[in-house]
Amino acid sequence: MSRWGMAVDLDRCTACGACTVACAQENNVALGNPDRPDQLIRWMEILPAERGKYPEVSARLAPSPCQHCDREPPCARVCPVYATYRNVEGLIPQIYEQCIGCRYCVNACPYTCKHFNWSRPEFPAPFERGLNPDVSVRNAGVMEKCNFCYHRLQVVRDTAAQEGREPKLGEYRTACQESCPTKAIRFGDLDGELEGVRENERAFTLLEDLGLMPKVIYLKEKTS
Amino acid sequence: MPATGKLEPIGWAEAFERLADKTRGSEVVFGAGDLGRGERQLLRGIAARREAAVVDARLPWGAAPVEAMREMLGSGEWRFDLPRATFVLSLGADWLQSFPSPVEAQRAFGAMREGPRRACVVTADARLSVTAARSNDWFPVARHHLPEFALSVAHAMVRMSPAVAARSPAFAALAGETRFGATETGKRLGIRPHLIDWTASGLGMGGVVVVDGADRGIEAAGMALNLVAGAIGRPGGVVAAALPPLPAGLGEPQARETGEFPRTRAAPVVILAAANPVQLALAGSGFREGLARASFVVSLSPFLDESAERADLVLPVSTPLESRNLTWGCTLDGRGFVSAGPAAVKPLYDTLEWPEALLRVGRALSVELPWKDAGAYFAAAAEALSAQDLLKKGGFKSLEQDPAPPSLPADPGAWAAETVRSALSRPGPGAFPLGLAVHVPLAFLGGSGAHLPYLHGIAQVSGREIWQTVVELHPDTARALHIPEGAPVWVDSARGSIQAVLRLRQGIRPDSAGLALGLGRKALGAFAAERGTNPLDLVESAEPAFVRVRGAT
């Protein structure tokens, strides 16, 4: 059984934002309302973090999707209707039809990766032409978040089944990974393509002390 | 401005008849914005045959330093060979956010971080830009002090290895003045002197200086540093572009582009091609005044932008996805390429492909080019570039010719020395105490992408504000002004005032203010219009400007 995860090499990331835009386009994320910028939904964000005091200042710019916690994901623990859970491959899906919009998961997620649809997303013409038919458009009152482009895994499996073969290594790719011009984002099976990434001397995860074992693993900048 | 104040649809034939009628016997001025290489050649060819001026209406931030390249190296067709660089000094250039080819810039950065070679990147700028954040080190230097910083680095290089002065005696002589020693300069600029020496060592061991075309003084200083460092013509330095031969009919005559709107014309007909001077022209270019006195304004644009809204005639062109594409150029390592492909989607509206629109404009101006329509143009150009298959199926191919060996004048740095000397005598801050650090987020492509909602979320890389203009200040500066973070403020310059929201950050010099360009649109729909303000209202030119910030409550 695969255990899907992501490795983000911060030494290569240029914070260009291609991953953010590709993710939003791929997953039919709401366009946003300029009059309510506080309600903006982005499944993948570049987290800015400035460190130090002038003039000794540096900045870490880290692409941040749902961290897909491997150990007791807080969002799944508090969901009263099992709309979010850890599946057997370690992914944390969100079942929109089951979500009652209580927003417990928003409060529970320490990574602020869960987003609530305060209103029904609108895709005025010609934006509606860009909707991805493989992904549902969420309604008002439900939560949403990154699911590692799970629909792409289904397409890979269907294609492989039709061709009478097993899915190939590296065949399941996320939109953010595909769009990254510096190849800073790698996605795959933590026991396959990404084997050993946790043991990399530069590897770390966000809020490690919480012990949630996120499956998004960052490789910190090299020093030279 | 349209006579009725409203746009009315007319047919293509009538549109070009009107254009022919209005331009008969009139002076014509073209404004050329972000056009593809072939389309630009077409437009300049039409202008040359019609003896019309062409004003370059592109933003200078992130543009190649073509003026310095032309003056010093004889041609604007040189590239910063970033993929092969081992040491890069970004002199006020946020090249990861604004660059002639942004995708190439990101890929070059990836290549620099690949394998054991691992290039060292340092950035000297007033704010911790994205490039600075991703650099090995950031040297906080005010924009108006960057030429001085470059001279100090050159001073250290000459001191370390006197032989390098022979590469540009004039610039080395200026840099050799005692006042540009590392200790004195470091004290004046507020940076540690050993960083100047360290930068000089890095450049001396095969580095390259990246500058953009925004400020003549910085551009000249950066290119002169490249000369002194021996970077010109060296792999990993500044390499000559090996461009494919021009397809027949696109060569001479070609009108030369100017940065300023011709001031002598009384009431010209202005034809804008992908140009939006109402929103994006710098005050010093005279473009807005030129538009105001134009007898007739034509806008060729895929979108109803601010300039198109005020035009007498709008000729809607297809977006790149709706039209065939054929372009050629040169990658950062100097190799030529051809890229072509069919239209990805059918046009949504009754629009023309760029070559078709330009050929018809030419015909309306009584200029005949060798092609009867866009189809003939694409076929001829694809044949000349051996790209017929690419045009049918889509793709990219590299060309295998070597860059022409550069032949440089006796002292290519003489122009730079003169230009930098004059930059040093520019006035500093007076009543407006903060140096303005304008930056151009990659997301907005100089403002032309502000109507695309997904891009707003990635425009403020160092913060999370969205759909509003943010002015960045150091916390000490804000404290002295008694303005809290998030407060609405006025930013004033000698030229004008805009509103913004205050963001505090450690990554900016206390004597500077940072503003992003791209908002403050008046058109382009609900996601762009009336969102934020336009920092271009504050500046006369791309040269250093100074502002003050005050509370808006």
Residue-wise DSSP of A7-32: EEETTT-----HHHHHHHHHTT----
Type of residue found at B152: S
Q: Are residues B183 and B106 in the same domain?
A: yes
Task: Locate the chain A residue with the closest alpha carbon to B473.
Answer: A54
Residues B333 and B348 occupy one common structural domain? yes
Cross-strand partners of A61: A48
Residue at B386 is within a domain: yes
**What domain count does chain B have?**
3
Decide if A219 touches B, using CB distance below 8 A: no
CA distance, residue B442 to nearest chain A CA (Å): 7
3-state secondary structure of B89: strand
- A31 is a domain residue: yes
The residue of chain A with its CA nearest to that of B112 is A12
User: Would residue A114 count as lying in a domain?
Assistant: yes
Could you tell me which residues are beta bridge partners of residue B546?
B435
- Give me the sheet containing A216-219, strands edge to edge: A185-189, A4-9, A216-219, A203-204
**With contact defined as beta carbons under 8 Å apart, do A41 and A33 qualify?**
no
- The reply to whether B141 touches chain A by the CB within 8 Å rule is no
Whole-number pLDDT of residue B112 = 92
Residue B404's pLDDT is what? 65
CA distance B80 to B8: 47
CA distance A117 to chain B (A): 16
Q: Which residues of A touch B462 (CB under 8 A)?
A: 48, 50, 59
- The parent domain of residue A71 ranges over 4-219
Question: Does the residue B389 lie in any domain?
Answer: yes
- Residue ending a domain, among B347, B375, B398, is B398
The domain boundary residue, chosen from B240, B269, B301: B240
Is the minimum CB–CB distance between A55 and chain B shorter than 8 Å? yes
Query: In chain A, what's the furthest Cα-to-Cα distance?
Result: 61
User: Residue B208 belongs to what H/E stretch?
Assistant: strand B208-210
Residue A12 is which amino acid? R
Does residue A89 form part of some domain? yes
Measured in angstroms, the CA of A167 and the nearest CA of chain B are apart by: 28
Whether A42 and A29 have beta carbons less than 8 Å apart is answered as yes
- Nearest residue to B83 (alpha-carbon basis) of B199, B239, B232, B222: B239
| Minimal Cβ distance to B453: which of A32, A182, A184 | A32
pLDDT of residue A224: 61
The proportion of chain B whose per-residue pLDDT surpasses 70, expressed as a percent, equals: 98
> Pairing relation of β-strands A185-189 and A4-9?
antiparallel
B56 three-state secondary structure: strand
| CATH number of the domain enclosing B360 | 3.40.50.740
Residue corresponding to tokens 């500093």: B428
**DSSP character at residue B243:** P
Q: What is the pLDDT of residue B405?
A: 65
Kindly report the pTM of this predicted structure: 0.94
In a domain, B422, yes or no: no
Residue B142 one-letter amino acid = A
Q: What CATH number did the domain enclosing B194 receive?
A: 3.40.228.10
Q: Are A130 and B348 in contact (CB under 8 A)?
A: no
Q: What percent of chain B has pLDDT over 90?
A: 82
Structure tokens of A178?
């595909």
Q: Which residues does B387 contact at the CB level (< 8 Å), separation at least 6?
A: B326, B338, B340, B381, B397
Higher per-residue pLDDT: A49 or A8: A8
In a domain, residue B414? The reply is no
- With respect to residue A168, please indicate whether it lies within any of the assigned structural domains: yes
Instruction: For residues A123 and A104, give the distance between their C-alpha atoms in angstroms, rounded to a whole number.
Output: 28
Question: Which positions in chain A touch B531 (Cβ < 8 Å)?
Answer: 34
Supply the pLDDT for residue B263. Answer: 85
CA distance B325 to chain A (A): 21
For residue A154, being part of any structural domain is answered with: yes
Same domain assignment for residues B393 and B257:
yes
Please report whether residue B426 resides in a domain.
no
Is the minimum CB–CB distance between A24 and chain B shorter than 8 Å?
Answer: yes
Q: How many domains does chain A have?
A: 1
Q: Does residue B101 sit in the same domain as residue B43?
A: no
Residues of chain B with pLDDT under 50: 1
| Closest CA in chain A for residue B118 | A224
Contacts of A182 in chain B (CB under 8 A): 106-107, 109-110, 113
Nearest to B212 by CA among B128, B96, B110, B121: B96
Give me the pLDDT at residue B105, please: 95
CA-to-CA distance for B83 and B100, rounded, in angstroms? 15
Strands B434-439 and B325-330 turn out to be unpaired
Residues B90 and B172 in one domain: yes
Q: Which of A194, A195, A214, A198 is nearest to A72 (CA)?
A: A214
Q: Which of B118, B442, B474 shows the shortest C-beta gap to A222?
A: B118
The chain B residue lying nearest A29, using CA atoms, is B454
Kind of pairing, strands A216-219 and B208-210? unpaired
Model confidence at A78: pLDDT above 50:
yes
Q: Are residues B436 and B389 in the same domain?
A: no
Residue B69, domain member (yes or no): no
**B215 plus B325 within the same structural domain:** no
Domain harbouring A211, CATH code: 3.30.70.20
- Looking at the partner chain, which of B105, B113, B505 has a beta carbon nearest the beta carbon of A50? B505
Same domain, residue pair B169 and B231: yes
Measure the CA–CA gap between A156 and A2, rounded to whole angstroms. Answer: 14
Contact B130 A15 (CB under 8 A): yes
CATH number at residue B443: 2.40.40.20
Q: Say yes or no: A21 contacts chain B, CB-CB below 8 A.
A: yes
pLDDT at site B411: 83
Instruction: Check if the interface score ipTM surpasses 0.90.
Output: yes
pLDDT for residue B402: 67
Q: Which has the closest alpha carbon to B191: B428, B468, B511? A: B511
Residue B70 in any domain: the answer is: no
Residue A1 Cα, gap to closest chain B Cα (Å): 32
Contact A183 B531 (CB under 8 A): no
Residues B191 and B149 in one domain: yes
Taking an 8 Å cut-off on Cβ atoms, the answer to whether A59 and B457 are in contact is no
Residue B234 shares a structural domain with residue B248:
no
Q: How far is A80 from chain B (nearest CA, A)?
A: 31
Q: How many CB atoms lie within 10 A of CB B266?
A: 9
How many residues appear in chain A? Answer: 224
Residue of B nearest to A221 (CA): B134
Query: According to the model, what pLDDT value does residue B406 have?
Result: 66
Residue A224 lies in a domain: no
Domain final residue pick, B347, B380, B398: B398
Domain of B389 in residue numbering reads as: 12-60+244-398
CA angle, B214 then B220 then B224, to 5° = 140
Q: How many CB atoms lie within 10 A of CB A133?
A: 7
* Same-domain status, B147 and B235: yes
Q: What is the strand order of the sheet B53-56 is part of? A: B257-258, B53-56, B28-32, B269-273, B296-301, B313-316
Q: Are residues B488 and B375 part of one domain?
A: no
> Is B527 within 8 Å of A54 when comparing Cβ atoms?
no
Domain membership flag for residue A22: yes
Cβ contact B204:B186 at 8 Å: no
